[in-house]
Structure 1
Amino acid sequence: MIEVAAAIIENAQGQILIAKRKVGKSQAGLWEFPGGKIEAGETAQDCLVRELQEEMNMLIQPGERFGVNEHDYGTVQIRLIAYWATFVSGEMRLVDHDEYAWVERDELNNYIFAPADIKFVEMLV
């Protein structure tokens, strides 16, 4: 099972950051809460800081754990571990995503999410 971390980042207006997977990536065209694979010897929080810096050029501060969801994609099983996080600084630059959006919680259902992220959408709306 692959462990993956996801950040639930809420801005001052109460909107949540989501990002759409780039064509050519797994789950391409689907929305997700940004994050990435946890590397050996790395905590989920350290992973989130690293991944958001690499993939979106933003510095975040992870907070409390939001939830865990295990999902079987058939060829791979993942354990997605989500944390609340606070935006600290940075100017958005996308690497693994085509788009990003800050959305109201009640708008999350208007987007098609990667299957592993759907549990977190349901917890937020």
Structure 2
Amino acid sequence: MIEVAAAIIYNGEGQLLIARRREDKSQGGLWEFPGGKIEPGESVQHCLQRELMEEMSISILPYAFFGTNKHSYGNLHIELIAWKAEYLEGEMQLVDHDDYQWVLPKGLGQFVFAPADVPFVERLLKESR
């Protein structure tokens, strides 16, 4: 089982950052909460800060555990660990994604998400009602 971190990043207007995976990547064309694989001995918070700087050139501050979801993509089994985070600074530069959006939580249902992210989307939608 591969541990993967996902950041549910809020900006100052209460919007969430979502990103669309490039077509040539696994789950290409689907939206996700950005993050990445947790390195051995690395905390989820540090992983998210590192991955968001590497993949998007932005700084974030993870501040609260949100939840976990175990999902199998065929022979790949992941445990997705989500943390809420605050966007701090940086000008977006995409590496593994081809688009990004800042959306209000109630607008998440307009996007097609990677299956591992769906339980988090459903929870956020429920909380936004």
Letter in 2 for 1:17: L
Distance 1:12 1:44 in 2: 23
Letter in 1 for 2:46: D
Distance 1:11 1:59 in 2: 12
Distance 2:54 2:60 in 1: 12
Letter in 2 for 1:22: R
Distance 1:14 1:122 in 2: 17
Distance 1:37 1:81 in 2: 10
Distance 1:89 1:110 in 2: 26
- Residue number in structure 1 paired with 2:89: 89
Instruction: State the Cα distance separating 1:73 from its structure 2 match.
Output: 1.0
- Are 2:13 and 1:13 equivalent residues in the alignment? yes
The unaligned stretches of length 5 or more in structure 2 are none
Structural mapping, 1:39-118, within 5 Å? 39-118=39-118
1:51-74 residue CA offsets vs partner (Å, 9 max, x unmatched): 000000001111110110000111
- Residue number in structure 2 paired with 1:32: 32
Letter in 1 for 2:103: V
1:38-85 residue CA offsets vs partner (Å, 9 max, x unmatched): 011111111000000000000111111011000011110100000000
Instruction: State the Cα distance separating 1:13 from its structure 2 match.
Output: 1.3
The unaligned stretches of length 5 or more in structure 1 are none
Aligned length: 125
TM-score, normalised relative to structure 1: 0.98
Where 1:36 maps in the other structure, the secondary structure is strand
Distance 1:94 1:5 in 2: 18
Letter in 2 for 1:59: S
